[in-house]
Chains A and B, each alone.
Chain A
Amino acid sequence: MKLAWLACLCLGGLLFAGNQESDLNVNRRYTVDTVTVAGKGWRTNVTDSHSEKLSSGLRKDLAALVGQKLNPGVLDGLADRLKKELSAKEVSHHVLRADTPEHVRVEFEVKQPRANIDATVSKAVYNSRDGWSGAGAVGFTVQHNSFLFGAASDGDTLMERYAGMSARYENKHLGTDRLGLRFQAESYHEQWNQNTIDAAAAHPEETSATYRTRQNFQPTLTVALAKPLTLEFGVGFQRFENQYPESHIEAANAFITSLRFHQVLAEVPFQQDLDADYTLRAATRMLGSDFVYTSHTAGVVYRAKHGKHQLTDAFNVGTISGRAPLVDRFVAGNSYYLRGWNKYDIDPIGGNRLVHNAVEYRYGPFWAFYDAGSVWDGGQPATLRHSLGVGVKESIFTLALAFPVRSGHVDPVVMMGIIY
């Protein structure tokens, strides 16, 4: 009997404790109808999977509130995550009555700072064959206007090692979120590998001579056609100061059009994303260009993520018709295409055809990749090359050992640094 009373008392205590928790905030009894995140001039419903304002992880956590009883305790944590992700000055949350009785809607209000200063390192990579390459920028944003000033010394991406400065102005809200404007200016000094100097001199009909300096000015307009599809068009004015046979200036002025597509394919049972892009660069005498060529490049990236497992497949193709300067030709054997290969062995002046596929698998920080592709010139036979790599990747930091797959000998390349 005593035990029965004791059990009753314990049960009563537990029931009281349970009620206490829910009674501290009476609004816990209401059901959440919608969750929205809003800033100046924009608003997004977190259940809308096309929303590009938020990362899929955060959007998923916010959407998980919908249909559940209100839990005010988690709202502060979510507001903190929004503040961090959106670089906001302040994120506050409001719970308001929904249209249905006993239902509420949660609104996160984002306040952006009047001026925001950013410093970014866009590339810092060491390749045991090409040495260090780095690029970074410092900028500030006032209202919708971003100004970015950068410096780079890159011996990895192109056939040339270029070093110099860049400046960019961007307005992502030209009256509406669907319209953006960007001006980009770059000025670089070049250093060349002897193989490239020799090959360029031997094939003047295919590309430009090696130049001493390169400047680029590129105004573009961006239009969000539909939520996942963006069109960018503009003009690129490139200017090269050549060394040989005597100092002279050449220009490659082109119309540029890009289409970009991003789609979250699924969130369950695992997250899948698709990115696709196509770029057309048409250099014409109409713009006073010395080079006349048309370049088409296209790429598709598919990503799937499930827990610690992450699979990425990136497929790229490109073709150039006409005579393009060295800077616009395709290069493989760098940190992006056919990793581990020597780009000067593949083609010291690059090619005007590109086909490449990269498969990457990650489990937590461990990373492996398989690259297959070819860079060649139209009319010449294409040689398919492969490379394999293993390493670790934590956030943006990468350490990898890449092996070009070829018969005869193994010549691994160490790559490490910040690679996006």
Chain B
Amino acid sequence: MTPRARETLVSRRSWLMAGLTVCLSSAFEDQPLQVRYDGDTLRVTAPSLHFLTGKALERLKDGDAVAYMANLELLNDSRTMTLRQQKGRFVVSYALWEERFSVTQLASRPSHVDGLSTQAAESWCFDSLALSTLGLSVDTFYWLRFDIHTANAREIAAEGMPGFSIARMIEWLGKKNSEQTQWGPLERRVRLADLPRLAGRGSRG
């Protein structure tokens, strides 16, 4: 073997590590529901799920505002009991001249962002949903479930948030009882101990 060849040789251990990393990485990316854990909260993303599409997108590009209701749940391993739940109510609109999305999360303290691309608007909605992990066992398996659907003014108003009466919601969203489109549910079995912990506010460990 020439010195030159020796220089470029990769050890068997390196090949093994690289192979394992690729497998784990691709296994993680293949999950329909990707989980981020910062020690305090769980957040999800779903790279294959796009809700700013189809008829909802057509309505947005017609100048309508479209309401979405998202639901993120943590269930026990047998999926018989909901342990944590967060609902998100979002109103999305599309600026016809700027060709950018605007999203408002309806809550007792609403938050708003605009000038977003399709991907950024979807990510903002995902990021707005978080489940607290306080009091959960790190070694127990749980199920995470996520779904999102388009909602009409009545459905949003039925949530009973102060300041979002049905009359106001109809004024903002129109009274059209549009066909509901649903994405999901997407599910994933998780154990907190297995999740890579992101740098952040994590108080555990």
Listed in ascending order, the chain A residues whose CB lies under 8 Å from chain B are 17, 20-21, 23-27, 30, 70, 72-73, 75-77, 92-97, 101-102, 104, 106
Contacts and interface: CB of A to CB of B under 8 A. Distances in A.
A95 B176 CA distance: 16
Interface residues of B, number: 25
Nearest to A80: B175
Given A102-B97, A104-B96, A25 B112 contact: no
28 contacts: A20-B104, A20-B112, A21-B168, A21-B172, A23-B102, A23-B112, A23-B114, A24-B65, A24-B93, A25-B63, A25-B64, A26-B94, A27-B93, A27-B94, A30-B96, A73-B170, A73-B172, A76-B175, A92-B62, A93-B62, A94-B63, A95-B63, A96-B96, A97-B97, A102-B97, A104-B63, A104-B96, A106-B63
A221 B170 CA distance: 47
Interface in B61-103: 62-65, 91, 93-98, 102
Contacts of B63: 25, 27, 70, 72, 94-96, 104, 106
B179 interface: no
Contact of B110 (A20, A73, A106): A20
A95 B112 CA distance: 23
A94 B174 contact: no
Nearest to A73: B171
A370 to B, nearest CB: 45
A301 to B, nearest CB: 38
B173 interface: yes
Interface of B: 62-65, 91, 93-98, 102, 104, 110, 112, 114, 163, 168, 170-176
B65 A101 contact: no
A108 to B, nearest CB: 11
B150 to A, nearest CB: 15
Contacts of B110: 20
B174 A76 contact: yes
A17 B163 contact: yes
Contacts of A95: 62-64, 96
A95 B64 CA distance: 8
A185 B174 CA distance: 47
A77 B167 CA distance: 13
Q: Which 10 residue pairs of A and B lie closest in terms of their CB atoms, listed nearest first?
A: A95-B63, A76-B174, A25-B65, A73-B171, A26-B102, A25-B93, A26-B95, A94-B62, A24-B172, A76-B176
A20 B109 CA distance: 11
B14 to A, nearest CB: 52
A23 B102 CA distance: 8
Contact of A77 (B91, B94, B175): B175
A302 to B, nearest CB: 38
A97 B94 CA distance: 12
B57 to A, nearest CB: 14
Contacts of B64: 25, 72, 95
A97 B96 contact: yes
A224 to B, nearest CB: 32
Given A26-B94, A96-B63, 10 more contacts: A21-B172, A24-B93, A24-B104, A25-B91, A27-B96, A72-B172, A95-B63, A95-B96, A96-B96, A102-B97
User: Which of A20, A26, A30, A92: most chain B Cβ within 10 A?
Assistant: A26
Contacts of B104: 20, 23-24
B170 A27 contact: no
A241 B2 CA distance: 123
Contacts of B98: 26
B128 to A, nearest CB: 16
A24 B110 CA distance: 11
A414 B28 CA distance: 86
Nearest to A77: B175
Contacts of B94: 26-27
Contacts of A92: 62
Nearest to A97: B96
A106 B62 CA distance: 9
Contacts of B163: 17
Nearest to B163: A17
